[in-house]
Structure 1
Amino acid sequence: MKTLKVLVSSAVVLAMLVILLGAYTRLTDAGLGCPDWPGCYGFLKVPEQAHHIEQAEALYPERPVESHKAWNEMIHRYFAGTLGLLILAIFVVSLKQKRLLLPSLLLGLVIFQAALGMWTVTLALHPVVVMGHLLGGFTLLSLLALYWWQLQPAPLIVVKQSLKLLFWPVLLVLAAQIALGGWTAANYAALACIQLPVCEAGWTTQLNFDEAFSLHLGYDNYEYGVMSQSARATVHVMHRIGAVITLLVVAAYAIALWRTSSGLMRNLAGAVLVLLVLQFSLGLANVVLHLPLGNAVAHNFVAANLLMCLVVIGYQLHRNKESAYA
């Protein structure tokens, strides 16, 4: 059991690092820094010697070697691959503990994440794949956190029955907003509107929902986006509106939990509130400061942790049939 706890704890930390590196890779436009997968221009690492670079550019003449972007991508792949091996180790150790559900889900998900990583390159940053890869990473972190909590002693949780029932729609609201954020990033719409509170003057006449939420199939390359400005602005506006709705819904739920519970649940509710306010502030800063790299990476990372905390709350609410309800 001790070995399993160490492995799962390490995987949680590594998953957070992979999410940070993934955001940094995407935001530095390095998603196609290596035009092949799993190597880089046919090498196991970024080609740096002159004859290797010449060979690489002969293989991929349409994509000259940009070492800084290629290294961003490969470092992300190295850490993601290490996380995959760590999750495989968790699965093997869990077999001996006869804990199969979460380890099996984790192993299946990390394999699917690897496939999404490959498709991100082979499909040239298709927005659906990019968004799916982000959601998969967030889900992986949340499931690892669930497993970590599953290995801890189960505390008695005292909450209102209504709060247990309301958890699922609140989780759905947050997940939908994260998906909308992923769609915004994948379609390069983060700077489609740079004024507050909603968008530039006349934005209501520019909305284009059909194109904004189309799958955009058939393009050879999706780098830097294929949407029109009006479609990108529509996605951006919906993400802003979703942010306000999410702030109100999740904050109301967290405040209700904080006021009516104690101990662990009260602390988790407080953490959600802090992360929620921080996330909303980072979103505003992205607009005002025109998407600074560090701020944008933090916005992605805090969203992952917000989802993780809310999922842990749900798990704690549902884990004990003997939990008391006010």
Structure 2
Amino acid sequence: MAHSVLTPPSSDSLSPPEAIAAVRRLVWKIAVATVILMAIGSATRVANAGLACPDWPLCYGQLVPTAQMNLQVFLEWFHRLDASVIGVLAIVLVAQTWWRRSLLPNWLPWAAVAALALVLVQGLLGGLTVTEMLRFDIVTAHLGTALLFFVTVLTIGMALLPYEGNGTANRLGWLSLLAAILVYGQSLLGALVASQWALHQCLSYQSLCTVMNSHILGVVPPTLAVLALGLWAWRTPALSRPLRRLAQAAIALVGTQIALGVATFYLRLQVEPLSVAHQTVGALLLGTLVAFTVLAHRDRRLA
């Protein structure tokens, strides 16, 4: 009887590789949905739609506010819908990993629980952004938690990914981890700039210029770290192909991100798609660095 409580029923005929593959597919779906969620969240902010639904968790007291629907209401409503889908998928992930825990790595169910906890915190912060009228610190924490959830899900996926390394990563994993931390910090600074409209405030009223300038100067450390990572990877000819491609992707993304940031600055946030792309590319850069970090540490264990 104790055995039946502690392990999944024998009716689950999946092998361990099949169970891992099933979890990995679900994790990738959650990761993609999270990137979309952050992009829609950015679009909601630049369209001034953060309070388009004046109540929470419903919108005008309805699941689908048909009568009030316009572009702003749609953006806020769809943002909440995507968040709800991610919440359901996170619950499914927890259920799946605990149900099949005898077939999966021991750490996986607990990692799924951590991801679900971040979703719950994110949902609470989402509600507070409405009830507290888009208070800048809550909006910043909202994005910061979304990025942590994205990083957690991506780490799970990369840890489960089949990978045949050759032990040549050396300390590249630590450099990519440093770069990821710096990019995360820069993302939070960007959220502070956006949530306080610091660019407009500085250029128009000479207010909040310290916040804006901190974000501009903050570009330097993560850029240097990513460039160092790319150079080190290039000078390691035996580096595995997946790691080499991730390093190349990080270089391309950081260049794109800088170009988008410059364009956004000089156009004074007037081209809304640029602002959305700027935040989305930042999230993709963070994800690329996290993916490199996970694979590089897996690679080191082969040395």
TM superposition score normalised by structure 1: 0.78
Matched, 1:138 2:147: yes
Counterpart amino acid of 1:166? L
Moved more, 36-45 or 295-304: 36-45
CA distance in 2 between counterparts of 1:178 and 1:96 reads 36
User: What is the CA distance between 1:37 and its match in structure 2?
Assistant: 0.4
Which residue of 2 is the match for residue 25 of structure 1? 44
Q: Could you tell me which of 281, 285, 290 is aligned with 1:306?
A: 285
Helix, strand or coil for the counterpart of 2:235? helix
Contact 1:268-1:313 at 8 Å conserved across structures = yes
Counterpart amino acid of 2:87? G
Which residue of 2 is the match for residue 258 of structure 1? 234
Which residue of 2 is the match for residue 161 of structure 1? 170
Matched, 1:232 2:208: yes
Which residue of 2 is the match for residue 212 of structure 1? none
**Percent of residue pairs identical:** 30
Structure with higher helix content: 2
Counterpart amino acid of 1:5? R
CA distance in 1 between counterparts of 2:166 and 2:183 reads 23
Helix, strand or coil for the counterpart of 2:248? helix
User: What is the CA distance between 1:193 and its match in structure 2?
Assistant: 5.4
Matched, 1:79 2:57: no
Structure 2, unaligned runs of 5 or more: 1-18, 102-107
Moved more, 130-139 or 314-323: 314-323
TM superposition score normalised by structure 2: 0.84
Contact 2:168-2:299 at 8 Å conserved across structures = no
* Alpha-carbon distance change, 157 to 21 in structure 1, aligned in 2, over 3 angstroms: farther
Which residue of 2 is the match for residue 61 of structure 1? none
CA distance in 2 between counterparts of 1:164 and 1:150 reads 14
The CA RMSD measured in Å over matched residues stands at 2.0
Moved more, 19-28 or 258-267: 258-267
Q: Could you tell me which of 71, 87, 93 is aligned with 2:96?
A: 93
* Alpha-carbon distance change, 24 to 193 in structure 1, aligned in 2, over 3 angstroms: same
Which residue of 1 is the match for residue 115 of structure 2? 106
* Residues 65-115 of structure 1: CA deviation (Å, up to 9, x unaligned): 684322211111011101110111111111123221321111111111100
* Alpha-carbon distance change, 163 to 85 in structure 1, aligned in 2, over 3 angstroms: same
* Alpha-carbon distance change, 154 to 96 in structure 1, aligned in 2, over 3 angstroms: farther
* Alpha-carbon distance change, 157 to 22 in structure 1, aligned in 2, over 3 angstroms: farther
